[in-house]
A and B are shown apart, each in its own frame.
Chain A
């Protein structure tokens, strides 16, 4: 790698840097900054959630305790669970991934830096909304799962609105971060980093990211339906009006079970990286471990029903889920044997991070054993809703997630801060946490088997469980001391810790090739990868001149726009230069707009809802609209020519196109969840449509949805007109598409207003109206994008570049989606009632 002149580096630091002060905080888009913020915010919530847990332990220490009443107990266990599941584990993992991935895969930043910023702000605001409930005294009290009807309008107050609104913001943040992670990993890996050279942490985060896209979307739909029941009077979860309480459980656990693996898989990635470094050899059975990660990701979606064994489902159905539940143990087993094989015959150093890995082994394997036990339906029936389950999931979540994350925090701390942590304090914190954990949760297995139910604020002395509970409380406080020692260790390290250097653990992965802490641009010259462990492997004798040329061209260049190399997903062949977005306050203000909209629902000031959404949409448009001067600079740049690859490609190679495709997958998942709800409700109804509602008129419905279907043809006309440079055809196609969508919006609005039933009549009516309105929302979004694309295309010549062709491609992609969605909704709402 040729040396770079100091002034070039200074230019680069200016280009990629973040300004100081509050303005810098608001406009920052750098993944390192935001990754640290994610982790710091999640850690703060972890401390609060832990404090709530200690209060719960105090209450349960002795029988018939009066330390707190049942209402406060309900509120505290709800907030403890919600905090740990939604505000700590996933955001921390997202932060770790966002910080590490660019270095690990040799990229300068993530694919959509502004989306990272938006995700962070919405996550923070979501957490604040959760905890704002303490200020008003309306604290959520229906558990982290919020089962209906307890969470419905009849049995819970405004606390649940805080819960739903806070959770919705956190879900949006999670989906945003997941899209970011997935596209970054698929598109921005360093040249030469083919699919077989991806670090295992990257693999696990990739699979978890894909899972988040599906699972969080279903939860978002479920929470939207719950809030509609609470605020708009729909009847999705009200059995008296044809709704179903179990529907909530299905939707919730379709998210809830994969959620466990969304947290667990990246944790196993951390373990794989540390074990490989500790053993100073590549991980054994790389292919099998990757397969096990993929298997876990897929099969975890087939386990949701094992949380519902006692709800009276058909035994035949339960048997599939028992089988799937047992199969996932195979995948975990493959990983554990691979780790053992890697360590076999080596002499690892027992550093603090390695101790946490060993702690993970011990605790997680025990949690896995009890997991296999409760996967079996008859045993599950016996221990359901007892402290056995509490013990099991804490062994899995703390052992399988928190210990690996602590291991990772100790392992990468020197990279993030440039300082080493104290080993003595580290060992103290580990042993206090490890002993405290087992003292807290192991007795809960016994208490559960003896019949102590969970979520009950006190127990009688006659159960003779006082000894176990006292031990658990002592263990809880011991664990808390362990955490405090860890924080003290971090504080000491930042103040006067020893300098870490680039690679204190002699690791093989790419992130250790940068300075500690790394500069904000990551790599001055993009690396070319020749080995799965780039820092251990020797340079390949097989050269890759295209990659070397592109890498050399981007050495401290360009200095007026942010660039990183893009590669083919499977082969790692360099294919493009991607332009990354720079500093902007738009993500922050977009998150503010969303917060205002959600607060409008929470406070029942419904005018704030459209105002907030319009403001947020304006921010999104501003965020994505390219500055003309910037476009000119980019078009005149000679970097693409020197690199031998184009900048800002279009179509499937562009990150924008892939991002929109991912968004459409999210949309399709949302429609899938709505259709599932519709057919689930239909299954449990004697008559359909319910009540006295007549069968839908398929002819009238066909007329309403016909414009959407026709728009697929006019979109094709527009793209054909562009391809053959016919301005006439292009204009007709663009205008006809927009007009058809406007016609659809008018027709469907008229159609809904003229129905003989509103959305509050019964569950069928709710589903009919809500599904129809979901299509309208997508069409509205498509209309905005299509209009912007039309203006851009009509103003420009027929240039096949990023700023002209791509908007048309994106508009067309979204347009085809709304046409398909319209056809599917027409089939479900207007045809299926006649057939089923």
Chain B
């Protein structure tokens, strides 16, 4: 859904068109990626190790380790996309002369999203590090 902010007397005559779904993705993309990472990593570690997949080796690594690395790459990828999108959005909003409160609120959401996406990407990386200690076992 596109939204503009006709209620405010902006500096510019034409309000900036903003895709609301994109704003929500920017705001929550990194957090969603982290949630996905934690839940999938937990499921793979708990269910994979107990079901014996930790004993199956492929290319020198356990199946569980491969799956965990895959999950981590997926989650980090989503967080990365969220960072890129929020960065581009942030630059776009900065380039446009943001005037009304509606646009400033959007700019704030984007800035908030940018910071939190970077932090969540960091959390995903921190949580991935222990996997490298368990590449050949559970």
Contacts and interface: CB of A to CB of B under 8 A. Distances in A.
B108 A302 contact: no
B7 A546 contact: yes
Contacts of A320: 38, 41-42, 45, 127, 130
A322 interface: yes
Interface stretch (B79-87, B89-97, B111-119): B111-119
Contact of B5 (A302, A317, A571): A571
A323 B126 contact: yes
B95 to A, nearest CB: 19
Contacts of A545: 7, 9
Given A295-B120, A324-B123, A547-B7, A194 B47 contact: no
Contacts of A543: 8-9
Interface in B41-55: 41-42, 45-47, 49-51, 54
A98 interface: no
A315 B50 CA distance: 11
A684 interface: yes
Nearest to B105: A194
A43 to B, nearest CB: 35
A573 B120 CA distance: 30
Contact of B8 (A295, A305, A544, A570): A544
A683 B123 CA distance: 28
Interface in A296-347: 298-299, 301-302, 305, 313-317, 319-320, 322-324, 326-327, 330
Contacts of B138: 314-316
B15 to A, nearest CB: 11
Interface string B1-45: 001011111100000000010010000000100110010011001
A348 B114 CA distance: 34
Nearest to B6: A546
A282 B85 CA distance: 30
B111 A287 contact: yes
B134 A299 contact: no
Contacts of A324: 38, 123, 127
B126 A327 contact: yes
Interface in A522-549: 540, 542-547
Contact of B34 (A288, A298, A326, A570): A298
A195 interface: yes
Nearest to A303: B38
B53 to A, nearest CB: 11
A196 interface: yes
A752 interface: no
B104 interface: yes
Contact of B108 (A194, A288, A684): A194
A305 to B, nearest CB: 8
Contacts of B31: 294-295, 298
B109 A195 contact: yes
A611 interface: no
Contact of B9 (A298, A322, A542): A542
A574 B131 contact: no
Contacts of B10: 542
Given A320-B38, A322-B130, A570 B23 contact: yes
Nearest to B117: A291
A378 to B, nearest CB: 14
A564 to B, nearest CB: 18
B64 A316 contact: yes
A245 to B, nearest CB: 16
B101 A194 contact: yes
A271 B88 CA distance: 35
B57 interface: no
Nearest to A679: B47
Contacts of B116: 291, 294-295
Nearest to B38: A302
A426 B108 CA distance: 40
A542 B101 contact: yes
Nearest to B100: A542
Nearest to B10: A542
Nearest to B41: A320
A323 B108 contact: no
B70 interface: no
A683 B47 contact: yes
A673 to B, nearest CB: 13
A316 B105 contact: no
A574 B45 contact: no
B123 A327 contact: yes
A572 to B, nearest CB: 6
A49 interface: no
A192 interface: yes
Contacts of B106: 570-571
A327 B30 CA distance: 15
Contacts of B64: 316
A560 B134 CA distance: 68
Interface string B54-84: 1000000000100010000000000000000
Contacts of B23: 570
Contact of A572 (B35, B105, B133): B105
Interface string A269-292: 000000000000000000110110
Contacts of A684: 50
B61 to A, nearest CB: 13
A353 B51 CA distance: 55
A194 B116 CA distance: 19
Residue from A192, A301, A320 with most neighbouring chain B CB atoms (10 Å): A320
B101 A572 contact: yes
B130 A323 contact: yes
Interface string A653-679: 000000000000000000000000001
B122 to A, nearest CB: 8
A526 B130 CA distance: 53
Contact of A570 (B47, B105, B130): B105
B41 to A, nearest CB: 6
Residue from B31, B47, B104, B119 with most neighbouring chain A CB atoms (10 Å): B119
A776 to B, nearest CB: 28
B10 to A, nearest CB: 8
Contacts of B38: 301-302, 320, 324
Given A683-B47, A684-B50, A316 B131 contact: yes
B133 A319 contact: yes
A296 B9 CA distance: 37
B127 to A, nearest CB: 4
A299 B122 CA distance: 12
Contact of A192 (B101, B108, B127, B129): B101
A291 B102 contact: no
A40 to B, nearest CB: 36
Contacts of A679: 47
A573 B42 contact: no
Interface of B: 3, 5-10, 20, 23, 31, 34-35, 38, 41-42, 45-47, 49-51, 54, 64, 68, 99-102, 104-106, 108-109, 111-112, 115-116, 119-120, 123, 126-127, 129-131, 133-134, 138
10 contacts: A298-B34, A302-B34, A316-B45, A317-B49, A319-B133, A323-B129, A542-B10, A546-B7, A571-B101, A683-B47
Interface of A: 192, 194-197, 287-288, 290-291, 294-295, 298-299, 301-302, 305, 313-317, 319-320, 322-324, 326-327, 330, 540, 542-547, 568, 570-574, 679, 683-684
